[in-house]
Structure 1
Amino acid sequence: MQIDCDFDGGSIEILNASDPSSVALALRGDNAAEYMQWFYFRVRHAAGVACTFRIVNARQASYPGGWWEYGVCASYDGEHWFRVPTEHDGQVLAIHHRPERDVVAYACFAPYPTDRYEGLLDQVRASGQQGRPLGVFEVGKSLEGRPMNVIVCGDQGRSVPRVWIIAHQHPGETMAGWFMEGVVRRMLDEGDGVARGLLDRAVVYLVPRMNPDGCARGNHRTNAAGRDLNREWLYPDRSAAPEVFHVREAMQAGGVDLFLDVHGDESIPYVFAYGAEGVPSYTQRLASLEERFAATLERIDGEYQRARGYELDPPGKADLRLSSLYVAERYGCLALGLEMPFKDNANRRDPHLGWSPERCRRLGRSTLEAVLSCIDALR
C-alpha cells in the first residue's frame, strides 16, 4: 500500500501505514494558521484489501462536531464521489473501506480541482469569443501570484442591477466550487430562460475561487498568510489578504445590488442562508428582499430550508468583517451567506452519496432563479 497527498489540494500526515487494517494518519493544519479539518489523500495498491484509516487527532479538529453522523468521501476517478463507512468515538475518526480498484482517493468532501476550475473559465472565454456577453477578467493577484478571476455576465455599459456571487473563501469548503459550476453552466446555456432573464436585466459577476492559494495548498480555512478571508472585508490588508482587497475594489467600481457568499458548514446538516439583520442600517426593505429570496428558493428547491441555521444577530451587533455583512452595510443591498453541509442534508438523506457535487450544482442552478425573482425590486 502507498499513501500520498502530493497533489493539488492534498493534505494528510502519514504516521504509520505498515498495517492496512489500522493505518495511522493525522490531520495537517493550514500552512500558516492553526485551523485543521480538511484532508484529501490517495491510496494505491490496496484493491480487495479491508482497510481502516484512523485519523488519530480528529478530536483536535477545528470543528469536531463535523465528525458525528458523517461519512468520508471516496472516489476512484476524481469525478464520481461516494460515502464510505466512517466512525467517530470522540477521539479518532475511523474510515473503513475495501477498495475495488487499485487507486482510490479519500477526502473530507469531494475536492474541486484547479484544472476543472480553469476549464470552466475557458468555457466562458469561448462563449464570449462567439459574441455572447460573457467574459473573464483578472482584478489582481493572490498573495502567491495566482490570478483573481471574475466572470462577468452581461453588458456592463447599462444602468441595471449589479449582482455579485462569490465562493470558496474557505478552501476546504469545496462544495462552494461545485455550486458555482452549476451557476456558471446555467449562465452559459443560451436556451435557458433564467440565464436570458438575468443577462437582459442585470450584470452578474461571479468569483468561483476567492482563495486560490489556500485551495492549492490544501488549507481548510485560510490563505497562504494564514488569514481567514471572511474576516477581512471591513479593513482588508493588501499585503496579507490581497484576494479580498482586489475583489472589494472591483465591486466598488460598479456598485452592488445583490450579493451572495457561498460556503459549507462542517456541523449543521442542512442547506440554509443567513441574512444581515444585525447590521446597523438594516431596514424593512432588506428584510422583505431576504424573505422574497428565501421563499423563492425554498419553493423551487426542496434542498433549501429556513427552519434551521445560525442564530440571528442582535440589532446593530453584526460582525462587519464578514463579506455579506460588510456588503449589506456598505451598499444597503440584499446580501446573504449561503451554507451547504459537509455531511448530508438531514431532510433528504442519501446514504450512498450524502451531500454531493451534483446536488451542489443543482442548488447553484436553483439559486439563480431566486436571484432573478428579486431583480426588479433591487432598485
Structure 2
Amino acid sequence: MTATGFPAPSGIAVDSRFDGGNGDLVAIGTAGGRTVVDLAIRTDAGCSFRQWFDVRLSGIAGRPVTVRLLNAGSCTYPKGFDGYRPVVSTDRSRWTRVPGRYDGGVLSLDLDLDADQVELAYFAPYDLSAHADLVARAGSRPGVRRIRLGSTVDGRPLDALAMGTFDGSRPVCWIIGRQHPGETMASWWMEGALDRLTDAADPVAAGLRAAADLVVVPNMNPDGSFRGHLRANAAGANLNREWAAPTLARSPEVAVVRAAMLQTGVAFCLDVHGDEALPHNFIAGFEGIPDLRPGQLDLLARYRGRLDEVSPDFQTRIGYPAARPQTGDLSMCTNWVANTFGALAMTLEQPFKDCVEAPDADEGWSPAGCRRLARACLDVLAAMAPTLKTGYAR
C-alpha cells in the first residue's frame, strides 16, 4: 500500500454534545458560493428558556461558511441579538468577535478561516473543567478552605471557598455567581476575584481578608453549565427565583447556600450575573424590599458610587428600574438576603455585547474585562468592609 497522506475531511461537521455545548444541526446547504450551516438553539430542560449557544465546526478550512441560528427570534431575550457580535476561537484561549446580522428572526454570521476547526459561542465559555481548576487552585492557597456545601440535582458537588475565622468578630461577606449558567462572564469574573483574593502579595486582598470573613461560591449552577442551559438547573428551575422557598428536590443549590448563610449571617452579598440586552456593567439593588433598614440604601449608593469612580468599565446611569417600595421579589437572591439580614446585597450585571464605557473592537466585553472588573469590585469592598456589620435572620 502506498501512503498518500492523512485523509482530508469530506465535509463540514457540527458538534455541541460537550460540556456547555448547545446548538443542533438543522441543515447544511449552499447559497451564493458559500456553505450555509443552519443551527437551532436547544431549550433548557424542563422549561422554556433558551439563548445560550456553543458549537464547534470542523472541516471549514478554506471554505466560506455562513452560520445561521434559525430560532434566535424565538429565544428568551431576542433583543439581546440587536447589535450583538458572537465570539469565535480556534484555540479556546483567545475569543474574538465576528459581525452578526440579526433580522428579527435569524442571527447570521460569516466565517472565512484557514483553521480546520472553530468554536462559536454566545460568550467565551467556562466549562466545568475550568471551574474545577479554579477551585483547586484557589483552595490550595494558605488560609483558604475548600468546602462541599452539598449536591446539585444531577449529583455534582456545589463548591465553596471560605476565608476567615467565622467567630462572629468580623463581617461575613458572601460572593456567588452563575446562578444562570449561560452567563459565563460570571465565571470569568470569579476567576479574577479569586486569583486576587488568594494572592498573598496583594495588599488590597490582605486588607480585605484581615477585615472580613469571606465565602465565595464560584458556580451556583454546575448542572445547567454542563448541559448548556441559559438560566435553569437540571430540574428546570431558575435559581434566582427560588430564594423564598427552595427545596432539595427542585433547587438544592439555593437551599444549601441559603442554609449556610443563615448559619454564618451576612453583612455583604454580591451575586454576579450577565445581561443579554444592555451593553453596560451595572448594579441592581434591593430598593423594594418590605423590611428595609435604616442606612441600607446609603451603603448601596456608596458601593455603586465608589465603583463608578475606580472602574472605567462600570457606570450608574443605565440599569434596571428600581422596584417601588414594598414590591421587591423575595424569590431573588439580592432581595432575600437584603431583607433577611439587613445586609448590603447587590446583583452585578455584565454585558454579553461590547461594553459602551470600555469598547474593544476585537473582543468586546471579554474575559479580561470581567477579571479587571472583579479586581475593582474588591477594591471597593476592601474599603467598605470595616464599616459593615453582619446581620442575622430575624
**More displaced stretch, 97-106 vs 138-147:** 97-106
Give distance in 2, aligned partners of 1:243 and 1:220. 16
TM-score normalised according to structure 2 size? 0.93
Q: What is the aligned counterpart of 2:126 among 96, 102, 112?
A: 112
Give distance in 1, aligned partners of 2:378 and 2:93. 24
Report if aligned partners of 1:292, 1:373 keep a CA contact under 8 Å in 2: no
1:94 is matched with which residue? 108
**More displaced stretch, 33-42 vs 117-126:** 117-126
Structure 1: which 5+ residue stretches go unaligned?
Answer: none
Per-residue deviation at 1:158?
5.2
Q: Kindly provide the amino acid, as one letter, of the partner of residue 153 in structure 2.
A: L
For residues 3-59 of structure 1, the C-alpha deviation after alignment (integer angstroms, 9 at most, x for no partner) is 111110000110012445321111111021111100000011101221100111111
For residues 326-350 of structure 1, the C-alpha deviation after alignment (integer angstroms, 9 at most, x for no partner) is 0000000100000000001112221
Report if aligned partners of 1:125, 1:134 keep a CA contact under 8 Å in 2: yes
Report if aligned partners of 2:55, 2:120 keep a CA contact under 8 Å in 1: yes
Report if aligned partners of 1:233, 1:326 keep a CA contact under 8 Å in 2: yes
Please state if 1:66 is matched with 2:80.
yes
Report if aligned partners of 2:28, 2:35 keep a CA contact under 8 Å in 1: no
**More displaced stretch, 18-27 vs 354-363:** 18-27
Give distance in 2, aligned partners of 1:33 and 1:322. 18
Please state if 1:348 is matched with 2:358.
yes
Q: What is the aligned counterpart of 1:238 among 248, 251, 259?
A: 248
TM-score normalised according to structure 1 size? 0.97
Q: What is the aligned counterpart of 1:13 among 18, 24, 32?
A: 24
Give distance in 1, aligned partners of 2:203 and 2:191. 18
Alpha-carbon RMSD across the aligned residues, in angstroms, is 1.1
Give distance in 1, aligned partners of 2:173 and 2:114. 45
Give distance in 2, aligned partners of 1:281 and 1:64. 35
Give distance in 2, aligned partners of 1:180 and 1:107. 20
1:313 is matched with which residue? 323
For residues 275-309 of structure 1, the C-alpha deviation after alignment (integer angstroms, 9 at most, x for no partner) is 11111122441111111111111111111100000
Please state if 1:262 is matched with 2:272.
yes
**More displaced stretch, 63-72 vs 286-295:** 286-295
Please state if 1:189 is matched with 2:235.
no
**More displaced stretch, 287-296 vs 300-309:** 287-296
Q: What is the aligned counterpart of 1:3 among 9, 14, 19?
A: 14
1:329 is matched with which residue? 339
Report if aligned partners of 2:139, 2:161 keep a CA contact under 8 Å in 1: no
Q: How does 1:286-301 map to 2 (within 5 A)?
A: 286-301=296-311
Give distance in 2, aligned partners of 1:147 and 1:369. 30
Q: Kindly provide the amino acid, as one letter, of the partner of residue 162 in structure 1.
A: V
Structure 2: which 5+ residue stretches go unaligned?
Answer: 1-11, 390-394
**More displaced stretch, 270-279 vs 93-102:** 93-102
SS at match of 2:44: coil
2:4 is matched with which residue? none
Give distance in 2, aligned partners of 1:97 and 1:276. 43
Give distance in 2, aligned partners of 1:71 and 1:357. 15
Give distance in 2, aligned partners of 1:281 and 1:224. 33
Please state if 1:285 is matched with 2:299.
no
Q: Kindly provide the amino acid, as one letter, of the partner of residue 114 in structure 2.
A: E
1:36 is matched with which residue? 50
Give distance in 1, aligned partners of 2:334 and 2:100. 34
Give distance in 1, aligned partners of 2:125 and 2:185. 8
SS at match of 1:22: strand
For residues 305-325 of structure 1, the C-alpha deviation after alignment (integer angstroms, 9 at most, x for no partner) is 000000110001000100010
**More displaced stretch, 276-285 vs 239-248:** 276-285
Report if aligned partners of 2:212, 2:386 keep a CA contact under 8 Å in 1: no
1:200 is matched with which residue? 210
Give distance in 1, aligned partners of 2:134 and 2:358. 29
Per-residue deviation at 1:272?
0.1
Give distance in 1, aligned partners of 2:208 and 2:356. 32
Report if aligned partners of 1:47, 1:101 keep a CA contact under 8 Å in 2: yes
Per-residue deviation at 1:376?
1.8
Report if aligned partners of 1:133, 1:155 keep a CA contact under 8 Å in 2: no
* Higher Cα radius of gyration: 2
SS at match of 1:311: coil
Per-residue deviation at 1:155?
2.6
Report if aligned partners of 1:296, 1:373 keep a CA contact under 8 Å in 2: no
2:9 is matched with which residue? none
